[in-house]
Amino acid sequence: MNKKNSVDFILKNRSTAVQQERGTFFAPSNIALGKYWGKRNTELNLPVTSSLSVSLGGLGAKTTISLSTKNSDQISVNGALMDLKSVFAVNLRNFLDLFRNNPTTYYQVETEINIPIGAGLASSACGYAAIVGALNQLYGWDLSCAQMSLLGRLGSGSASRSFWQGFVEWQAGVAEDGMDSLGVPLLETWPELRIGLVIFNAQQKSLSSRSAMQRTVLTSPFYASWPAKQAADMNCLRAAIQKRDFVELGSAAESNALAMHALMLTASPPCVYSEPHTLAAMQKIWQLRQEGLSLYFTQDAGPNLKLLFLEKDLEMVKKLFPEIIIVAPFGDAERVVLVDEQDQVIGTEEKLKAHQLALLHRAFSVFVYRKKITGGETKFEFLLQQRHPDKYHCGGLWTNTCCSHPRLGETVLAAAQRRLKEEMSLEVSLNQLGFFVYQANFENGLSEHELDHVLLGEYDGVQPIVLNPTEVQASCWVESEALQHALSAHPERYTPWLKPAFRLVLEELCIKS
Ligand code: DP6
């Protein structure tokens, strides 16, 4: 099987004609804690071992793809048009060839990437993942993240892990056609975990990870020992994540990266990515650890280090590495604000725990609507979203435009605007209508016990609605009467808070219910 057969197999029965003027998608970059180093199949980027990464939240690539009106592809990165003969553009165009309907289909690809490209910061991972996601939107394929992961892998192996936030394991699989070699998100979170990017050199590396990886496999006399080392490290990493044992996580990740670089040093000719700065920083970290600081590093195919530490040591780490870029892969969003029935703050709790113990907490539900005038009569249509199947509860159910929890110290309005942007890519001015309290218990043992603020805003009819695939599976506009009818006829298809929240919206818009 070659790449093209693989793509055709995954896209079997999907549209070959574009469904939208343009497709846009954001994919986070990811950093491997247990590395992918070596392929068993170079055509399909099938790895020798499984690997495990953590995604970098808002750091990554946002790509928009449309059909080009010129007689060639046009590729721009951060606003600069790329020379189509550059290695970067040639690789990208070879990948795009897999998706062209005919040889005269050309694409306009605009990528905004907020990490240095080609400096061992996993820009190829988020770059190829964003391209796949944008093509999925453009052609309306409606692919799951798992299917997109299979496609992303064909562009760059590590892209298979860039379709989710949080911890992701790329399972190596055993099938020859690679259909079982894809990313799988882990359920565990770790709100206190921090990643620090220490960039000594943001220049494009002269030796690509692709060449170094293959050279290591073919020439290192020690490569045969890698799968066992990787398997042992992966076990430690999984266990550490489950127990939230930071020392075990940091030790396994650091040792894994050092072993990968040790293998590279034994390749012929040797592959060396470390620079004097890199080694000096490693020594500084080992010294700090001896002095009691819980700080570890990992390193990819570049001279820069990624530090691993916990929130409690943030200020200290910032002082020690003033240029550091800090990422909170699980955000502070993982704590909810506990309130009483009058919305007075009582404290905060970990999101999952609050849902396990049915603790009353502050939430919000946003409704975005548009007006439709037919035969002189004004009708209201509401933008609904279908929750991602992997959500911690109510996965796959339909609900209002976006719902979430404010962080401590964040106003409901600011939180609603933030999440509307993150989930649907929309900026809409919102009115707060009021709140209600409800409790619903789910089959998986979790409960929603929320004080839910309802917000309403009108869509401007212009902004593209871009779904965040880690949160939202699909969206649609539904006319108010049809929604009221469906909520009574098929309540099992909707989240339990939609109906009471919608009541406030109907009152506000003076729509009879
Ligand atoms: C060191 O995914 O860039 O970052 O599949 O050839 O495109 P290709 O390789 P790529 O390799 C990444 C290697 C790494 C480790 C990792 O991310 O797991």
Please write the tens of the pLDDT for every residue from 300-319: 999 999 999 998 899 899 99
- pLDDT greater than 90 at residue 64: yes
- How wide is the angle at C-alpha 159 spanned by C-alphas 157 and 161, nearest 5°? 100
Q: Does the Cβ of 158 fall within 6 Å of ligand 1? A: yes
Measured in Å, how far apart are the chain's first and last C-alpha atoms? 57
Rounded to whole angstroms, the Cα distance separating 489 from 505 reads: 20
For residue range 329-360, list pLDDT tens digits in order.
987 546 789 999 999 988 888 787 888 889 99
Atom of ligand 1 minimally distant from the CA of 153: 5
With CA atoms as reference, report the closest residue to 465 among 383, 343, 388, 386.
383
Tokens of 507: 């009152």
Pocket test for ligand 1, best of 29, 208, 213, 271 (most atoms within 8 A of CB): 213
Verify whether ligand 1 is closer than 6 Å to residue 51 (CB atom): yes
Residues contacting residue 194 through CB under 8 Å, at least 6 positions apart: 308, 309, 310, 311, 314, 317, 326, 327, 328, 329
**CA gap 129, 148 in Å, rounded:** 8
Read off the pLDDT band of 390 (50, 70, 90): confident
Report how far ligand 1's centroid is from the alpha carbon of 38 (Å): 9
Tell me the average pLDDT of the chain. 93
Pocket test for ligand 1, best of 29, 36, 160 (most atoms within 8 A of CB): 36
DSSP lists the bridge partners of residue 319 as: none
What would the two tokens of residue 307 be? Answer: 């530090």
Least confident of 114-128, 197-211, 349-363, 414-428: 114-128
pLDDT at 477: 97
- How many CA within 13 A on the CB side of residue 270? 9
Supply the residue whose CA is at minimum distance from atom 1 of ligand 1: 300
pLDDT for res 391: 75
Cα-to-centroid distance, 119 and ligand 1 (Å): 12
Q: Are the CB atoms for 57 and 30 separated by under 8 Å?
A: no
Q: Is 29 in the pocket of ligand 1 (CB under 6 A)?
A: no
Yes or no: say if 466 and 25 are a contact pair by the CB < 8 Å rule: yes
Is the CB of 36 within 6 Å of ligand 1? yes
pLDDT recorded at residue 189: 84
Cβ(128) – ligand 1 distance below 6 Å: no
Could you tell me the pLDDT band of residue 395, with boundaries at 50, 70 and 90? confident
How distant, in Å, are the alpha carbons of 55, 189, 298, 303, 334 from that of 331? 11, 10, 20, 27, 6
Total number of residues shown for the chain: 513
Closest ligand 1 atom number to CA of residue 260: 1
Task: Return the ligand 1 atom nearest residue 36 CA.
Answer: 18
161 Cβ inside 6 Å of ligand 1: no
Q: How far is the CA of 146 from the centre of ligand 1 (A)?
A: 19
User: Which domains does the chain show, CATH number per domain?
Assistant: 3-186 (3.30.230.10), 195-331 (3.30.70.890), 334-508 (3.90.79.10)
| pLDDT above 90: residue 119 | no
Instruction: Establish whether residue 156 lines the binding site of ligand 1, counting it when its CB lies within 6 angstroms of any ligand atom.
Output: yes
User: Which residue is listed with tokens 């894809």?
Assistant: 182
3-state secondary structure 142-153: CCCHHHHHHHHH
**Per-residue pLDDT averaged across 39-48, rounded?**
98
Which of 209, 211, 258 gets mutated to test ligand 1 (max ligand atoms within 8 A of its CB)? 209
Q: Determine contact, residues 330/189, Cβ cutoff 8 Å.
A: yes
CA dihedral (191, 192, 193, 195) positive or negative:
positive
Which of 54, 156, 158 to mutate to test ligand 1, by most ligand atoms within 8 A of the CB atom? 158
In contact, 40 and 46? CB cutoff 8 Å: yes
Is 151's pLDDT higher than 60? yes
140 CA to centre of ligand 1 in angstroms? 29
Which long-range contacts link 176-180 to residues 24+ away (Cβ below 8 Å)?
Answer: 176/1, 176/41, 177/1, 177/6, 177/9, 177/44, 178/1, 178/6, 178/41, 178/44, 178/45, 178/46, 178/150, 178/153, 179/9, 179/150
Q: Is 132 exposed, middle or buried (0-12, 13-18, 19+ CB in 10 A)?
A: buried
User: How confident is the model at residue 350, as a pLDDT?
Assistant: 79
- Report residue 230's pLDDT band, with 50, 70 and 90 as the boundaries: very high
513 has pLDDT over 70: no
pLDDT number for residue 452: 98
Print burial letters for 286-325: b (CB count within 10 Å at least 16), e (below 16). Answer: eebbeeeeebbbbbbbbbbbbbbbbeebbeebeebbeebb
Q: What is the DSSP letter of 494?
A: B
Strand positions, DSSP E, 429-485: 431-441, 447-458, 472-479
Q: What is the dihedral of CA 210, 213, 215, 219, to 10 degrees?
A: -170
35 CB near ligand 1 (under 6 Å):
yes
Chain centre distance of CA 209: 22
> Residue 419 above 90 pLDDT?
yes
Cα separation of 248 and 244, whole Å?
9
Three-state DSSP class for residue 487 = helix
Phi-psi region of 202 (alpha: psi -120 to 50; beta: other; left: phi over 0): alpha
Position 58 pLDDT exceeds 90: no
